[in-house]
Amino acid sequence: MKLHHLGIDVVDLDKSTDYIQSTYQARFLFEITFGEETIRFFQLNEFVLELIYHPAKEQLSCHIAWQVDSIDHIFDHLNSEHSNQIEGPYQFKNGWTSIFLEVEEKLYVEWVEESLSK
């Protein structure tokens, strides 16, 4: 496993985008819509940052995402111990498959498998 990205909820997506681009020279990668969330990914050298905006979210949270070779292996392992805390698996248009484990109310862990055919 290796670090894939860090995701944080933001109150103002455009203001947060301007800040990380001007302060850290972050390069915009892509944006997706997931339910009511708007999510933007940025490259900061070798690090990927995910900014997440949800218009109705009352409490902000964060998550760390690990890149794995097999999401099924992680899912099976987690499902045996934490079945009520798992969200996913989710398939994204960019070839990513991910699952989330809610550790606490404000902290999630994500695992991402990237498709080889990007």
For 64-112, the pLDDT digits (tens) are 999 999 999 988 888 777 767 888 899 988 899 999 988 766 667 888 9
How far is CA 27 from each of CA 19, 34, 38, 55, 89, rounded to the nearest angstrom?
12, 21, 17, 24, 28
Tokens matching residue 112: 């991402």
Mean pLDDT computed over every residue of the chain: 88
Rounded to two decimals, the pTM is 0.83
The DSSP-derived string for 18-68 is HHHHHHH-PEEEEEEEETTEEEEEEEETTEEEEEEE-TT--S--EEEEEE-
